[in-house]
A and B are shown apart, each in its own frame.
Chain A
Amino acid sequence: MGNSYRVALAGNPNTGKSTLFNALTGLRQHTGNWAGKTVSLAQGDIQYKDKTFNLIDLPGTYSLFSNSSDEEVARNYIVFEKPDVTVVVLDATSLERNFNLALQVLEMTKNVIICINLIDVAEKQGITINERILTNRLGVPVIKISARNKKGFPMLLDTIDRIVTGAIDCQPVQTTYPDDIEEQIKKIEPKVSELIGNELSARWVSLRLLDGDENLLNEINERFGQKERA
């Protein structure tokens, strides 16, 4: 048996998250490309070396600012349920669009793997991706895979393994904002940190508060209020 770790799969719609999920877990979760397809969270286990990875397939979203219930489910899972590793699945053929979500996740949590899927399709289109440069720039492992052809899986599983054992220390790059915003963050971050402790990234919560994210504020009140009462 050994230890069990939770690994969440995040990504834009139609990037092959569910295909990856099925290929890794052997489950036949239905894949299709209509909006909000992954409604409830599908879960499945993978045995790797002496460990069990519990894979969670989050809803496909373009963002995690909770504009919709899908985004809220995905965000709440990453921020409050705190998976041991979050794998962000990107479509190699439209990285620019996909990085919006990836950079958001890097702001929210530390242990992230950027998994560039559909690499075979991209190569056919003449797109070459240098994952080493991306890894250096982003501060987290970047891996190229083809979920459909089951390419790159050993590397992905090994990287998950090395993150949970602490062999890889992720240092996700933090987006730097214009000076006026950074000044405001500096002002409220210590207070936020005092209130929420180390449970959440104080910088991220500060940013969300500056953006006027009342939905997140309510969620924090509810979750942290419950803990105090318990």
Chain B
Amino acid sequence: MKRMSNKEREVAQWLARLGPATGWALVEASAGAIKRGSVYVLLGRMVDKGFLESEVGERPAGQSGPPRRTYRLTALARRVLAAEAQIAAALAEGST
């Protein structure tokens, strides 16, 4: 199973809550818990690992600059998150 680092898990959890989002949106939504200086590296690494897919959006009328890229969880990432949640729940049950 491919492993998620803590930061990657945080990004994945935010994407699970928000749905497809840009790096900037993740930073804003997490109130700075995900840093602007590192979010794009994390996202790139997660795409490499197969946890995320990305696509380039349409450029809004009147906006200069390149179109923005949005990221979404892959089925693999959802399975990893679900498996980790199951393990955490089982551990919590076992400890009580």
A and B associate? no
